[in-house]
Amino acid sequence: MNGSEPVLPRAHGDAVLTARMRSAPEDFFVEELPGFEPSGSGEHLLLTIEKRGMNTAFAARHLAQWAGVGEMAIGYAGLKDRHAVTRQRFSVHLPKKIAPDLSTLDIDGDSERLRLVEHAWHAKKLPRGALAGNRFVLVLRGVEGERDAIEARLRAIDERGVPNYFGEQRFGRDGDNVANARAMFAGRRVRREQRTLLLSAARSELFNRVLARRVEMGCWDRPLDGEVWMLDGSRSVFGPQSFDEVLAQRLDAFDIHPTGPLWGRGELRTTDAAFECESSALSDDEAIALRAGLEAEGLKQERRALRLRPVGLAWNWQAEDVLEVAFSLPPGAYATVVMSELGEVRAVGRSG
Protein backbone atom coordinates (compact mmCIF):
# COMPACT_ATOMS: atom_id res chain seq x y z
CA MET A 1 0.00 0.00 0.00
CA ASN A 2 1.19 3.54 -0.69
CA GLY A 3 -0.25 7.03 -0.71
CA SER A 4 -1.20 6.85 -4.39
CA GLU A 5 -3.66 4.00 -3.88
CA PRO A 6 -7.18 5.41 -3.53
CA VAL A 7 -8.77 2.62 -1.45
CA LEU A 8 -7.60 1.67 2.01
CA PRO A 9 -9.20 -1.24 3.93
CA ARG A 10 -12.76 -0.43 4.93
CA ALA A 11 -13.81 -1.02 8.53
CA HIS A 12 -17.49 -1.70 7.82
CA GLY A 13 -17.22 -4.21 4.98
CA ASP A 14 -17.40 -4.16 1.23
CA ALA A 15 -18.64 -1.16 -0.74
CA VAL A 16 -22.42 -0.62 -0.71
CA LEU A 17 -22.55 2.01 -3.43
CA THR A 18 -20.85 3.73 -6.32
CA ALA A 19 -21.47 7.43 -6.87
CA ARG A 20 -20.10 10.71 -8.18
CA MET A 21 -19.09 13.57 -5.90
CA ARG A 22 -18.30 17.20 -6.79
CA SER A 23 -20.36 17.08 -9.99
CA ALA A 24 -20.73 20.82 -9.34
CA PRO A 25 -19.17 23.05 -6.67
CA GLU A 26 -22.56 23.28 -4.94
CA ASP A 27 -22.44 19.52 -4.34
CA PHE A 28 -19.52 19.97 -1.92
CA PHE A 29 -20.32 22.59 0.73
CA VAL A 30 -17.91 23.17 3.62
CA GLU A 31 -18.39 25.61 6.47
CA GLU A 32 -15.73 26.32 9.08
CA LEU A 33 -16.92 26.03 12.65
CA PRO A 34 -15.37 29.01 14.45
CA GLY A 35 -13.02 28.37 17.32
CA PHE A 36 -13.69 31.67 19.12
CA GLU A 37 -15.88 34.74 19.22
CA PRO A 38 -14.52 38.05 17.88
CA SER A 39 -13.23 40.41 20.54
CA GLY A 40 -15.10 43.34 19.00
CA SER A 41 -12.07 45.62 18.95
CA GLY A 42 -8.51 45.63 17.65
CA GLU A 43 -6.61 46.14 14.40
CA HIS A 44 -7.75 43.01 12.56
CA LEU A 45 -10.93 42.95 10.49
CA LEU A 46 -12.41 39.47 10.81
CA LEU A 47 -14.36 38.52 7.68
CA THR A 48 -16.55 35.48 7.12
CA ILE A 49 -16.45 34.80 3.39
CA GLU A 50 -18.46 32.41 1.24
CA LYS A 51 -16.77 31.54 -2.02
CA ARG A 52 -17.31 29.34 -5.05
CA GLY A 53 -14.70 28.18 -7.54
CA MET A 54 -11.68 29.60 -5.71
CA ASN A 55 -9.29 28.19 -3.17
CA THR A 56 -8.15 29.88 0.02
CA ALA A 57 -4.92 31.30 -1.44
CA PHE A 58 -6.81 32.97 -4.30
CA ALA A 59 -9.31 34.52 -1.89
CA ALA A 60 -6.50 35.73 0.37
CA ARG A 61 -4.79 37.49 -2.56
CA HIS A 62 -8.09 39.11 -3.50
CA LEU A 63 -8.57 40.37 0.07
CA ALA A 64 -5.04 41.80 0.14
CA GLN A 65 -5.62 43.68 -3.11
CA TRP A 66 -9.02 44.91 -1.93
CA ALA A 67 -7.56 46.19 1.36
CA GLY A 68 -4.36 47.55 -0.16
CA VAL A 69 -2.15 45.48 2.14
CA GLY A 70 0.47 42.79 1.69
CA GLU A 71 -0.52 39.15 1.69
CA MET A 72 1.22 38.70 5.07
CA ALA A 73 -1.53 40.89 6.55
CA ILE A 74 -4.13 38.23 5.72
CA GLY A 75 -4.82 35.40 8.14
CA TYR A 76 -6.91 32.25 7.77
CA ALA A 77 -7.41 29.15 9.86
CA GLY A 78 -7.45 26.43 7.21
CA LEU A 79 -7.21 25.67 3.50
CA LYS A 80 -10.34 25.06 1.45
CA ASP A 81 -10.72 23.53 -2.00
CA ARG A 82 -11.50 25.35 -5.22
CA HIS A 83 -14.12 22.96 -6.61
CA ALA A 84 -16.59 23.57 -3.78
CA VAL A 85 -18.72 26.16 -2.07
CA THR A 86 -16.88 27.05 1.12
CA ARG A 87 -17.46 29.40 4.01
CA GLN A 88 -14.47 30.42 6.11
CA ARG A 89 -12.94 33.23 8.13
CA PHE A 90 -10.15 35.57 7.10
CA SER A 91 -8.50 38.38 9.04
CA VAL A 92 -7.10 41.57 7.50
CA HIS A 93 -4.57 43.60 9.49
CA LEU A 94 -5.60 47.28 9.30
CA PRO A 95 -3.54 49.20 11.88
CA LYS A 96 -5.37 52.47 11.22
CA LYS A 97 -8.71 50.72 11.73
CA ILE A 98 -10.11 52.17 8.52
CA ALA A 99 -11.84 49.41 6.64
CA PRO A 100 -12.14 49.64 2.85
CA ASP A 101 -15.62 49.82 1.38
CA LEU A 102 -17.15 46.44 2.22
CA SER A 103 -19.59 46.77 -0.69
CA THR A 104 -16.67 46.45 -3.13
CA LEU A 105 -15.41 43.16 -1.72
CA ASP A 106 -17.72 40.71 -3.50
CA ILE A 107 -16.89 38.90 -6.73
CA ASP A 108 -19.80 37.75 -8.92
CA GLY A 109 -18.41 35.92 -11.92
CA ASP A 110 -19.71 33.01 -13.94
CA SER A 111 -17.50 30.44 -12.18
CA GLU A 112 -15.76 32.40 -9.41
CA ARG A 113 -17.89 34.01 -6.74
CA LEU A 114 -17.12 35.56 -3.38
CA ARG A 115 -19.43 37.28 -0.94
CA LEU A 116 -19.13 38.72 2.53
CA VAL A 117 -21.30 36.93 5.10
CA GLU A 118 -20.38 38.91 8.23
CA HIS A 119 -17.58 41.00 9.69
CA ALA A 120 -16.24 42.11 13.08
CA TRP A 121 -13.09 43.59 14.60
CA HIS A 122 -10.67 41.35 16.46
CA ALA A 123 -7.50 41.83 18.48
CA LYS A 124 -5.26 39.26 16.76
CA LYS A 125 -4.45 37.86 13.35
CA LEU A 126 -6.35 34.66 12.61
CA PRO A 127 -3.80 31.83 13.05
CA ARG A 128 -3.73 28.49 11.30
CA GLY A 129 -5.80 25.89 13.08
CA ALA A 130 -8.05 28.38 14.89
CA LEU A 131 -11.26 26.53 14.10
CA ALA A 132 -13.42 24.02 15.94
CA GLY A 133 -13.92 21.86 12.85
CA ASN A 134 -15.82 21.85 9.58
CA ARG A 135 -19.43 21.16 8.65
CA PHE A 136 -19.96 19.34 5.34
CA VAL A 137 -23.02 18.98 3.13
CA LEU A 138 -22.20 16.59 0.29
CA VAL A 139 -24.41 15.56 -2.62
CA LEU A 140 -23.70 12.19 -4.24
CA ARG A 141 -25.10 11.71 -7.74
CA GLY A 142 -25.52 8.65 -9.91
CA VAL A 143 -25.82 6.51 -6.78
CA GLU A 144 -25.94 2.79 -7.52
CA GLY A 145 -26.59 0.37 -4.68
CA GLU A 146 -29.37 -0.97 -2.51
CA ARG A 147 -30.91 1.81 -0.45
CA ASP A 148 -31.39 -0.41 2.61
CA ALA A 149 -27.70 -1.40 2.56
CA ILE A 150 -26.58 2.20 2.10
CA GLU A 151 -28.67 3.43 5.01
CA ALA A 152 -27.50 0.53 7.19
CA ARG A 153 -23.90 1.52 6.44
CA LEU A 154 -24.64 5.16 7.34
CA ARG A 155 -26.14 4.03 10.65
CA ALA A 156 -23.05 1.91 11.33
CA ILE A 157 -20.80 4.91 10.63
CA ASP A 158 -22.91 7.00 13.00
CA GLU A 159 -22.67 4.39 15.74
CA ARG A 160 -19.02 3.30 15.43
CA GLY A 161 -17.29 6.03 13.46
CA VAL A 162 -14.69 5.37 10.74
CA PRO A 163 -10.92 4.85 10.60
CA ASN A 164 -9.24 8.24 10.87
CA TYR A 165 -7.11 7.88 7.73
CA PHE A 166 -5.35 10.81 6.16
CA GLY A 167 -7.23 11.54 2.94
CA GLU A 168 -5.85 11.25 -0.56
CA GLN A 169 -5.48 15.07 -0.68
CA ARG A 170 -2.49 14.76 1.63
CA PHE A 171 -0.64 12.70 -0.95
CA GLY A 172 -0.87 15.04 -3.93
CA ARG A 173 -2.97 15.24 -7.04
CA ASP A 174 -1.26 12.21 -8.58
CA GLY A 175 -0.39 10.57 -5.29
CA ASP A 176 3.31 11.31 -5.76
CA ASN A 177 4.12 13.27 -2.59
CA VAL A 178 5.46 10.17 -0.85
CA ALA A 179 7.80 9.37 -3.76
CA ASN A 180 8.96 12.99 -3.75
CA ALA A 181 9.54 12.75 0.00
CA ARG A 182 11.75 9.71 -0.52
CA ALA A 183 13.71 11.60 -3.17
CA MET A 184 14.08 14.57 -0.81
CA PHE A 185 15.38 12.30 1.95
CA ALA A 186 17.87 10.88 -0.57
CA GLY A 187 19.26 14.35 -1.28
CA ARG A 188 17.03 16.05 -3.85
CA ARG A 189 16.71 19.76 -3.09
CA VAL A 190 13.19 21.14 -2.74
CA ARG A 191 11.68 24.53 -1.93
CA ARG A 192 11.06 25.30 1.72
CA GLU A 193 7.27 25.35 1.35
CA GLN A 194 7.35 22.03 -0.51
CA ARG A 195 9.48 20.45 2.21
CA THR A 196 6.70 20.89 4.79
CA LEU A 197 4.19 19.29 2.43
CA LEU A 198 6.43 16.30 1.74
CA LEU A 199 7.21 15.74 5.41
CA SER A 200 3.47 15.67 6.14
CA ALA A 201 2.87 13.20 3.31
CA ALA A 202 5.58 10.85 4.57
CA ARG A 203 4.20 10.95 8.10
CA SER A 204 0.66 10.41 6.84
CA GLU A 205 1.74 7.41 4.77
CA LEU A 206 3.24 5.70 7.79
CA PHE A 207 0.21 6.45 9.96
CA ASN A 208 -2.16 5.10 7.30
CA ARG A 209 -0.12 1.89 7.09
CA VAL A 210 -0.49 1.29 10.83
CA LEU A 211 -4.20 2.12 10.76
CA ALA A 212 -4.79 -0.14 7.73
CA ARG A 213 -3.12 -2.98 9.62
CA ARG A 214 -5.42 -2.45 12.57
CA VAL A 215 -8.49 -2.29 10.34
CA GLU A 216 -7.44 -5.63 8.86
CA MET A 217 -7.01 -6.97 12.42
CA GLY A 218 -10.43 -5.64 13.43
CA CYS A 219 -9.05 -3.49 16.26
CA TRP A 220 -9.05 0.06 14.85
CA ASP A 221 -11.62 1.06 17.48
CA ARG A 222 -10.72 -1.54 20.11
CA PRO A 223 -7.66 -1.70 22.36
CA LEU A 224 -4.52 -3.76 22.06
CA ASP A 225 -2.32 -4.51 25.06
CA GLY A 226 0.05 -1.57 25.53
CA GLU A 227 -2.34 0.95 23.95
CA VAL A 228 -1.76 4.71 24.08
CA TRP A 229 -4.97 6.74 24.25
CA MET A 230 -6.02 10.19 23.06
CA LEU A 231 -8.69 12.36 24.65
CA ASP A 232 -11.47 13.23 22.23
CA GLY A 233 -11.27 16.78 20.93
CA SER A 234 -7.68 17.29 21.99
CA ARG A 235 -4.15 16.14 21.32
CA SER A 236 -3.64 15.00 24.90
CA VAL A 237 -2.49 11.40 25.21
CA PHE A 238 -1.97 9.03 28.11
CA GLY A 239 -0.79 5.49 28.61
CA PRO A 240 0.09 2.84 27.95
CA GLN A 241 -2.46 1.82 30.53
CA SER A 242 -4.14 -1.50 31.28
CA PHE A 243 -7.61 -1.69 29.80
CA ASP A 244 -10.29 -1.82 32.49
CA GLU A 245 -13.99 -1.15 32.90
CA VAL A 246 -13.50 2.60 33.28
CA LEU A 247 -11.53 2.84 30.03
CA ALA A 248 -14.08 0.58 28.33
CA GLN A 249 -16.88 2.96 29.27
CA ARG A 250 -14.89 5.97 28.07
CA LEU A 251 -14.07 4.21 24.80
CA ASP A 252 -17.73 3.35 24.16
CA ALA A 253 -18.70 6.96 24.93
CA PHE A 254 -16.14 8.27 22.38
CA ASP A 255 -14.35 10.11 25.17
CA ILE A 256 -11.05 8.42 24.26
CA HIS A 257 -9.61 6.77 21.14
CA PRO A 258 -6.77 4.36 20.37
CA THR A 259 -3.84 6.07 18.62
CA GLY A 260 -1.22 5.49 15.97
CA PRO A 261 2.20 7.06 15.42
CA LEU A 262 3.03 10.29 13.63
CA TRP A 263 6.64 9.36 13.06
CA GLY A 264 9.68 11.24 14.31
CA ARG A 265 12.60 10.97 16.67
CA GLY A 266 12.21 9.02 19.87
CA GLU A 267 10.83 5.64 20.87
CA LEU A 268 7.32 4.44 20.17
CA ARG A 269 5.23 5.05 23.26
CA THR A 270 3.20 1.87 22.88
CA THR A 271 4.22 -1.48 24.39
CA ASP A 272 3.28 -5.15 24.02
CA ALA A 273 0.80 -6.00 21.22
CA ALA A 274 0.28 -2.37 20.18
CA PHE A 275 4.03 -1.88 19.81
CA GLU A 276 4.38 -5.12 17.84
CA CYS A 277 1.59 -4.08 15.47
CA GLU A 278 3.12 -0.68 14.76
CA SER A 279 6.62 -2.05 14.39
CA SER A 280 5.62 -4.83 11.99
CA ALA A 281 3.44 -2.51 9.87
CA LEU A 282 6.46 -0.23 9.35
CA SER A 283 9.21 -2.80 8.93
CA ASP A 284 9.63 -2.96 5.13
CA ASP A 285 12.41 -1.10 3.32
CA GLU A 286 10.22 1.76 2.10
CA ALA A 287 8.81 2.44 5.56
CA ILE A 288 12.26 2.26 7.13
CA ALA A 289 13.53 4.86 4.62
CA LEU A 290 10.62 7.18 5.40
CA ARG A 291 11.15 6.74 9.13
CA ALA A 292 14.85 7.54 8.83
CA GLY A 293 14.15 10.61 6.69
CA LEU A 294 11.63 12.01 9.16
CA GLU A 295 14.00 11.45 12.06
CA ALA A 296 16.84 13.14 10.17
CA GLU A 297 14.59 16.15 9.62
CA GLY A 298 14.20 16.48 13.39
CA LEU A 299 10.51 15.65 13.74
CA LYS A 300 9.49 14.16 17.07
CA GLN A 301 7.20 11.21 17.77
CA GLU A 302 3.56 12.26 18.11
CA ARG A 303 0.23 10.44 18.10
CA ARG A 304 -3.06 10.67 16.18
CA ALA A 305 -6.43 9.09 16.99
CA LEU A 306 -7.20 5.96 14.99
CA ARG A 307 -10.96 6.55 15.19
CA LEU A 308 -13.08 9.37 13.82
CA ARG A 309 -16.77 9.91 14.52
CA PRO A 310 -18.77 12.26 12.28
CA VAL A 311 -20.98 14.51 14.42
CA GLY A 312 -24.60 15.18 13.51
CA LEU A 313 -24.60 12.66 10.66
CA ALA A 314 -27.81 13.01 8.63
CA TRP A 315 -28.88 12.06 5.14
CA ASN A 316 -31.78 12.37 2.74
CA TRP A 317 -32.59 11.16 -0.74
CA GLN A 318 -33.14 14.08 -3.10
CA ALA A 319 -33.98 11.68 -5.92
CA GLU A 320 -33.75 7.95 -6.56
CA ASP A 321 -30.03 8.21 -7.33
CA VAL A 322 -29.14 11.45 -5.50
CA LEU A 323 -28.12 11.26 -1.84
CA GLU A 324 -27.28 14.23 0.40
CA VAL A 325 -25.09 13.51 3.43
CA ALA A 326 -24.26 16.08 6.13
CA PHE A 327 -21.92 15.87 9.12
CA SER A 328 -19.24 17.76 11.06
CA LEU A 329 -15.62 16.74 11.55
CA PRO A 330 -12.82 18.00 13.81
CA PRO A 331 -9.80 19.80 12.34
CA GLY A 332 -7.44 17.53 10.44
CA ALA A 333 -10.14 15.01 9.44
CA TYR A 334 -11.28 14.28 5.90
CA ALA A 335 -14.81 14.08 4.50
CA THR A 336 -13.53 11.85 1.69
CA VAL A 337 -12.50 9.27 4.31
CA VAL A 338 -16.08 9.12 5.58
CA MET A 339 -17.39 8.74 2.04
CA SER A 340 -14.95 5.94 1.25
CA GLU A 341 -16.59 3.78 3.93
CA LEU A 342 -19.74 3.84 1.79
CA GLY A 343 -18.01 2.66 -1.36
CA GLU A 344 -16.49 3.91 -4.58
CA VAL A 345 -17.21 7.64 -4.57
CA ARG A 346 -15.50 9.29 -7.53
CA ALA A 347 -14.70 13.00 -7.33
CA VAL A 348 -15.63 14.57 -10.66
CA GLY A 349 -14.15 17.98 -9.84
CA ARG A 350 -10.51 18.22 -8.84
CA SER A 351 -9.50 19.87 -5.60
CA GLY A 352 -7.01 22.69 -5.45
| Total residues found in the chain within this entry | 352
Q: Round to whole Å and give the CA distance between 205 and 157.
A: 23
Full DSSP string of 308-347: E--EEEEEEEEETTEEEEEEEE-TT--HHHHHHTTEEEEE
Full DSSP string of 181-236: HHHHHTT----HHHHHHHHHHHHHHHHHHHHHHHHHHT-SSS--TT--EEETTS--
Q: Round to whole Å and give the CA distance between 351 and 100.
A: 31
Determine how many CB atoms are found less than 10 A away from the CB of residue 131: 19
Q: Is 284 exposed, middle or buried (0-12, 13-18, 19+ CB in 10 A)?
A: exposed
Q: Pick the catalytic residue: 27, 81, 174, 255?
A: 81
Q: Round to whole Å and give the CA distance between 192 and 189.
A: 9
Whether 321 is catalytic:
no
Instruction: List residues with catalytic annotation.
Output: 81
